[in-house]
Amino acid sequence: MQGCDAGLWCGSRAHDEPLMTSLVLASNNAGKLREFAELLAPLDFQLIPQATLGVPEAEEPHVTFIENALAKARHAARLTGLPALADDSGLVVPALGGAPGVHSARYAGEPKDDARNNRRLIAALRGIADRRAHYVAVLVLVHHADDPQPLIGEGEWHGQIIDAPRGAGGFGYDPHFLLPDLQRTAAELDAAEKHRRSHRGQALAQLVAKLARQRDGGPEASPENGQTHGR
Nearest to 151 by CA among 80, 222, 201, 81: 222
CB 139 within 8 A of CB 86: yes
Q: What is the pLDDT of residues 91-138, one digit of tens each?
A: 999 999 999 999 999 999 999 999 999 999 999 999 999 999 999 999
- The residues annotated as belonging to the active site are 88
Has 65 been labeled as part of a binding site?
no
Has 75 been labeled as part of a binding site?
no
Q: What is the pLDDT of residues 153-184, one digit of tens each?
A: 999 999 999 999 999 999 999 999 999 999 99
Domain membership of residue 64 (yes or no) is yes
Has 177 been labeled as part of a binding site?
no
The number of beta carbons lying within 10 Å of the beta carbon of residue 103 is 15
Domain membership of residue 39 (yes or no) is yes
Domain membership of residue 224 (yes or no) is no
Q: What is the pLDDT of residues 37-86, one digit of tens each?
A: 888 877 777 889 999 999 999 998 999 999 999 999 999 999 999 999 99
Has 117 been labeled as part of a binding site?
no
Residue 114 CA to residue 118 CA, distance in Å, equals 6
**pLDDT in the model for residue 100:** 99
CB 107 within 8 A of CB 39: no
**pLDDT in the model for residue 29:** 82
Which range scores top for mean pLDDT: 29-43, 97-111, 201-215? 97-111
Domain membership of residue 231 (yes or no) is no
Has 109 been labeled as part of a binding site?
no
Has 187 been labeled as part of a binding site?
no
What does the CA dihedral 225, 211, 137, 75 come to, rounded to 10 degrees?
A: -110
Domain membership of residue 188 (yes or no) is yes
Domain membership of residue 105 (yes or no) is yes
Distances (CA, A) of 36 to 40, 50, 220: 6, 13, 24
Has 171 been labeled as part of a binding site?
yes
| Mean confidence (pLDDT) of the chain | 86
User: What's the domain range around 144?
Assistant: 22-218
List, in sequence order, every beta strand (DSSP E) within 1-80.
Answer: 22-25, 46-49
Residue 34 CA to residue 133 CA, distance in Å, equals 24
Question: What CATH number is attached to the domain comprising 204?
Answer: 3.90.950.10
Looking at the structure of the chain, the number of domains it has is 1
Domain membership of residue 6 (yes or no) is no
CB 167 within 8 A of CB 185: yes
Domain membership of residue 230 (yes or no) is no
Residue 122 CA to residue 3 CA, distance in Å, equals 52
Nearest to 201 by CA among 211, 191, 188, 214: 191
Angle subtended by helix axes 30-39 and 199-215, to nearest 10: 50
CB 92 within 8 A of CB 101: yes
- Whole-structure pTM value: 0.82
